[in-house]
Amino acid sequence: LARELHDMPPPRAIKLGLLPAPLVVPVLREVATRGAPVVLDPVLVASDGGDLGGSADALRAALADMSEATWLVTPNRGEAAALAGAGPDDPGLLAALAARLGRAAVLLKDGHGRDPTRVRDEVWLSGQVHTLARPRVAGPDPRGTGCALATAIACGLAQGLAPLAAIERATAWLDAARTRWLAGPDGRPHLPRA
């Protein structure tokens, strides 16, 4: 795997999702050498609650060594709590996670928040908190929104956008895409392909 990553052309940005525990350290070490912005969606369990082999301990330990200034980690509240060793409703969750991750930026997603009318994502960049509050998009919660958001942010970074601008543009795109959900082959809502 490391050889395949090494043989790829230089990336302009990298998006990572689920990494099974045995691959966390080698993949993150190789990616850290690429010199490109990295967006990590720290998937620990499937959206239906299934165990995917992810490990908060392995990911947290690896990120402690990989906290490059170019890294952005995009957890939901449950993932952030597991990585920070805190509760998902802890008001200091973002600060606790940022402290655990060193210099990495954090987008704490609030898609499953308690407010039925508003979403309040929080971004930690260079020690400053930026709040992205907006009306909650009505309708079902399509599968893959976390992956799609992280990918859209990486695309913005690859196009040269500053991190906050990339996050804001990707969030607006996802909010619009969620309104066009389609029934997938599993009968659950999915994001449209285009």
Whether residue 129 is predicted with pLDDT greater than 90 in this model: the reply is yes
**Beta bridge pairs of residue 76:** 109
Sorting pLDDT into bands at 50, 70 and 90, what band is 137?
confident
- In whole angstroms, what is the distance from residue 83 CA to residue 101 CA? 9
Q: 0.75 cut: is pTM over it?
A: yes
Phi, psi (rounded to 5 degrees) for 72: -125, 125
Mean pLDDT for the chain overall:
84
Whether residue 14 is predicted with pLDDT greater than 80 in this model: the reply is yes
Give the pLDDT confidence score for residue 148 in this predicted structure: 93
Q: What is the mean pLDDT of residues 186-190?
A: 90
* The pair of three-digit structure tokens given for residue 125, joined into one six-digit string: 């960049």
Highest mean pLDDT among 30-44, 57-71, 118-132: 118-132
Around 188, how many Cα atoms within 13 Å sit in the side-chain half-sphere? 9
Give the pLDDT confidence score for residue 107 in this predicted structure: 96
Q: What is the mean pLDDT of residues 106-115?
A: 84
DSSP character at residue 31 = H
The answer to which of 21-30, 117-126, 132-141, 158-167 has the lowest mean pLDDT is 21-30
Residue 45 one-letter amino acid = V
Which residues make Cβ contacts (< 8 Å) with residue 128, sequence separation at least 6?
none
pLDDT in tens, 16-60: 887 776 777 778 778 878 888 989 888 776 555 545 455 677 667
Whether residue 9 is predicted with pLDDT greater than 80 in this model: the reply is yes
Sorting pLDDT into bands at 50, 70 and 90, what band is 10?
confident
